Amino acid sequence: MDRPALADFLRRRRELLRPEDVGLGSGQRRRTPGLRREEVAALAGMSADYYTRLEQQRGPQPSEQMVAAIARALRCSLDERDHLFRLAGHNAPARVHRADHVEPAILRVLDRLEDTPAIVVNDLGETLVENRLGAALLGTTTGLPGNERYQPWRWFMTAYERAKYAPEQHDRLARAQVASLRAAVGAAGPSDRRAAELIADLEANSEEFRVLWSLHEVAGRWEDHKTFVHPELGRITVDCQVLHTTSQTQALLLFTAPAGSEDAQKLELLGVVGQQTFTVGPRS
């Protein structure tokens, strides 16, 4: 870990960004250029004190997951992300297959979706980043530990994930979860350790998953019609549009409803209601 170079890189990247670059209002005139440290920390999902210590060359070595979050917050290019990983004492993630780094172009689109719930997920169903309304609709799922970060694991191993969706859609969505996971595994190949560990966990602990996995159904993420069950607003039926990255390992999901409909009005209310806490239940 090169503390001086890491601190200098973080500071210079932060100073290059404007609030509007990351979806923040410009507000009052600032004394110094760029984002504030606490703003970068909030975007990365860490404490302001932790991030400040990194810039002051006195913080502990950040984990790979934390470095990836900082790279997203600072809107790093792939080259800049790789450099950041090396400064922090880690090997840069491979570019060929799955990566937690979200391309700046995708983040710019997400930042401009102020009135539309949206999230970015990888091919294993891990939410990499979400906008405010996306978290309000689905409950925030970024930064979860272990296999819980993946939606297929939460779907088959917990009660709280399914509770977000209308019961009549559970069977169809369960098959879609498995078919999408099968497609991801086929594309990445047998050396994909993260996928192998996820599947082994599910096969060992979920009879439903074992049955569906044995069907060998394969399908990527597609445009869909879903009904969510929100804790305060009740049922909200939306169209889910999917925009894939070139590598097909990440997708931007947008949730919309016809203008003037009751569902569209409920989506607007999400901004008022704010993010809800979806109860985390025990393994099923």
Place 98 in a pLDDT band, splitting at 50, 70 and 90: low
Point out the least confidently predicted range of 26-30, 83-87, 199-203. Answer: 26-30
Taking residues 173-180, report their average pLDDT: 94
Yes or no: say if 107 and 129 are a contact pair by the CB < 8 Å rule. yes
pLDDT at position 103: 80
Q: Check pLDDT > 60 for residue 97.
A: no
Q: Check pLDDT > 70 for residue 94.
A: no
Phi-psi region of 75 (alpha: psi -120 to 50; beta: other; left: phi over 0): left
pLDDT at position 189: 65
pLDDT at position 260: 94
Phi, psi of 234 (to 5 degrees): 75, -145
Q: What is the pLDDT of residues 184-232, one digit of tens each?
A: 887 766 678 889 999 999 999 999 999 999 988 888 777 789 999 999 9
70 closest CA partner among 95, 98, 50, 94: 50
Yes or no: say if 284 and 156 are a contact pair by the CB < 8 Å rule. yes
Q: Check pLDDT > 50 for residue 273.
A: yes
pLDDT at position 280: 47
Q: Which helix (H) or strand (E) holds 199?
A: helix 193-205
Whether the pTM exceeds 0.75: the reply is no
pLDDT at position 279: 47
Q: How far apart are CA 88 and CA 64, in angstroms?
A: 9
pLDDT at position 20: 74
Taking residues 28-52, report their average pLDDT: 85
Give the tokens for residue 262.
Answer: 């009751």
Yes or no: say if 46 and 59 are a contact pair by the CB < 8 Å rule. no
Tokens 């009904």 identify what position?
Answer: 227
pLDDT at position 282: 46
